[in-house]
Structure 1
Amino acid sequence: MNLQTNIPLSKHSNNLIDYQSNILLLGSCFVENIGEKLGYFKFKNLVNPFGVLFHPKAIEKLIERSLNLEYYSEKEVFFHNEQWHCFDVHSKLSNPSKDNLLKDLNNHIDASYHQLKKATHIVITLGTAWVYHNLETQKSVANCHKVPQRQFSKKLLSVTDILESLQKIVALVKRVNADVQIIFTVSPIRHLKDGFIENMRSKAHLLAAMHQVVESYKSKEDTDLSYFPSYEIMMDELRDYRFYAEDMIHPSQTAVNYIWEKFKEVWVFKEAQKVMEEVDIIQKGLLHRPFNPNSEAHQKFVKNLYNRKKDLENRFPTIKF
């Protein structure tokens, strides 16, 4: 008896991820889950330099600023609740010092500029189509930073709004990096603060726009744009609350691991998967805590682990433990 539906997946035909790849990941919390996995297995990657970004307009704005090297100035940051903030970025960058915040923001502009130009793969995960606009500036914000809600208006981006934003993102990136592989996906995290029905409307708009932009490039015989079904795997293959964390909103670690395995199956080169197995053995070995550190058996274990580590680092100079 088959008690689970499975989404048919096929391995991408070219431009797969290996240990020479350079990966940039942008978007919602879920992209950080994938980034953590890539980091654990020692791939070259940069994850959300500006923190979590939930909607396409926020990603579009920061990509454009980074590629134009448009640095932040004092007039673009503000003081609230004993910290300096910027509406374009996540609160993890907020800082008690205005100068340090500006320094961090502009360092991330530089890092993003270089990563966008050299990336072989860019993974973009969208979480919501709901956007808040600052009433004073009439600009969309990436994060409200707990500023009173009366200072914002809330809008659901239309499919056309999202499509135009994604098209602009692709055009901006391709202008400086023509061969980069862009992988779009919709986050399986439920944005229930917006409301149950509102969350489903939001996800529907994101899905419709993403598929439109990917299909439009396929019609031009451009295979550098792809869609990975993170959201659908969560909704259909993992259709059970036991695959959610205690908040019943975020995927559990089991669900993250499951979706990661699917991503690896589609996007990671077979030879790289063999290297991942070696990395995993070393990572687990480094976490090992012996009962008797001075025993002969443990000393032999440490020497063997050291030799494995040096051998892998010699074969792949970008891998560092």
Structure 2
Amino acid sequence: MKLQTSIPLFKQTNNLINYESNILLLGSCFVENIGEKLAYFKFNNKVNPFGILFHPKAIEKLIEKSLSLAYYSENEVFFHNEQWHCFDVHSKLSNPSKDNLLEHLNDSINSSCHQLKKATHIVITLGTAWVYSFLENNNTVANCHKIEQKYFDKKLLSVNAIVASLQNIIKLITTVNKKASVIFTVSPIRHVKDGFIENTQSKAHLISAIHEVIKAQLLTENNQLYYFPSYEIMMDELRDYRFYAEDMIHPSQTAINYIWEAFKYVWISEKAVKTMENVDAIQKGLQHKPFNPNSEAHKKFLQKLESKKQALSKSFPHMSF
């Protein structure tokens, strides 16, 4: 008896991820889950230099600012609750010092510009189609920084508006990097604060827009855009609350591991998988807690571990443990 549905997965044949790849991940907090896995296995990757970005307009704006090197100035930050903030970025960048915030923002512009130009893979995870506009200037914000909602106008981006935003993102990327594979995915994390029905409507707009954009590029035979079904895996294969964290909203670690294995199957080369096994052995060795740190057996274990680290670092200079 079959008790679970399965999402069909197909191994990619073009531009698979390996240890020579440069990976940039942008978007909602789910992209950070994948980024943590890539970091654990010592891939060359960068995750959300501006912090978590939930909607496509926020990602579009920061890609545009980065590639045009449009640095932030004092009139683009503000003071609230004893911290300096910027409406374009996540609150993790907020800082008690205005100068430190501006320095961090502009360093992120430089690093993002560099990464967008050299990336072999760009993973973009969209979380919501609901956006907030600051009433004072009608600018769409990436984060409200706990300012009262009465100062914002909330609206749902239409499918057409999302399509336009994604097309501009792709256009911006291809002006500096025509070889990168852009992998879109929709975060399985439900934005229930918007409402259950509203969250479903939001995800539907995101999914529809992504597939319209991918369908359009297929017609031009410029196959650099892809969709990975993380949302569908969570909703259809893992449709049980045992796969959720205690908040019943975010995926549990088991679910994250499951979706990661699916991503690995689709996107990571067989050669890289073998290297991942060696990295995993080293990572587990580093976490090992000996009963007797001064024993000869443990000293030999450390020597073997160091030899393995040096061998990998020699083959892949970007790796450090």
Scaled to the shorter chain, the TM-score interval is: over 0.9
Question: Residue 179 of structure 2 aligns with which residue?
Answer: 179
Question: Residue 261 of structure 2 aligns with which residue?
Answer: 261
- Cα distance in structure 1, aligned partners of 2:29 and 2:318: 26
- Cα distance in structure 2, aligned partners of 1:252 and 1:154: 30
Q: Deviations over 1:78-135 (max 9, x none)?
A: 0000000000000000000001100000000000000000000000000000000000
Matched, 1:280 2:280: yes
1:108-123 equivalences under 5 Å are 108-123=108-123
Q: Provide the aligned C-alpha RMSD in A.
A: 0.5
Letter in 2 for 1:78: F
Q: Any idea what SS the aligned residue of 2:2 has?
A: coil
- Cα distance in structure 2, aligned partners of 1:19 and 1:186: 25
- Cα distance in structure 2, aligned partners of 1:223 and 1:278: 33
Letter in 1 for 2:60: E
Question: Residue 168 of structure 1 aligns with which residue?
Answer: 168
Question: Residue 143 of structure 1 aligns with which residue?
Answer: 143
- Cα distance in structure 2, aligned partners of 1:320 and 1:299: 21
Q: Any idea what SS the aligned residue of 1:182 has?
A: strand
Question: Residue 29 of structure 2 aligns with which residue?
Answer: 29
Matched, 1:235 2:235: yes
- Cα distance in structure 1, aligned partners of 2:99 and 2:302: 45
- Cα distance in structure 1, aligned partners of 2:244 and 2:314: 40
Q: Any idea what SS the aligned residue of 2:24 has?
A: strand
Question: If the length of structure 2 is used for normalisation, what is the TM-score?
Answer: 0.99
Letter in 2 for 1:251: P
Paired-residue identity, %: 71
Following superposition, the deviation at residue 61 of structure 1 comes to 0.2
Following superposition, the deviation at residue 45 of structure 1 comes to 0.6
Question: Residue 294 of structure 2 aligns with which residue?
Answer: 294
Following superposition, the deviation at residue 291 of structure 1 comes to 0.5
Following superposition, the deviation at residue 193 of structure 1 comes to 0.2
Q: Any idea what SS the aligned residue of 2:7 has?
A: coil
Question: Residue 152 of structure 2 aligns with which residue?
Answer: 152
Deviates more, 1:210-219 or 1:192-201: 210-219
- Cα distance in structure 1, aligned partners of 2:148 and 2:156: 20
Following superposition, the deviation at residue 294 of structure 1 comes to 1.0
Following superposition, the deviation at residue 220 of structure 1 comes to 1.0
- Cα distance in structure 2, aligned partners of 1:139 and 1:303: 57
Q: Deviations over 1:20-66 (max 9, x none)?
A: 00000000000000000000000001100000000000000000000
Matched, 1:76 2:58: no
Question: Residue 206 of structure 2 aligns with which residue?
Answer: 206
Following superposition, the deviation at residue 315 of structure 1 comes to 1.5
Q: Any idea what SS the aligned residue of 1:137 has?
A: coil
Letter in 1 for 2:318: T
- Cα distance in structure 2, aligned partners of 1:295 and 1:2: 51
Report the number of matched residues: 321
1:94-113 equivalences under 5 Å are 94-113=94-113
- Cα distance in structure 2, aligned partners of 1:222 and 1:43: 27
Following superposition, the deviation at residue 223 of structure 1 comes to 1.5
- Cα distance in structure 2, aligned partners of 1:314 and 1:68: 36
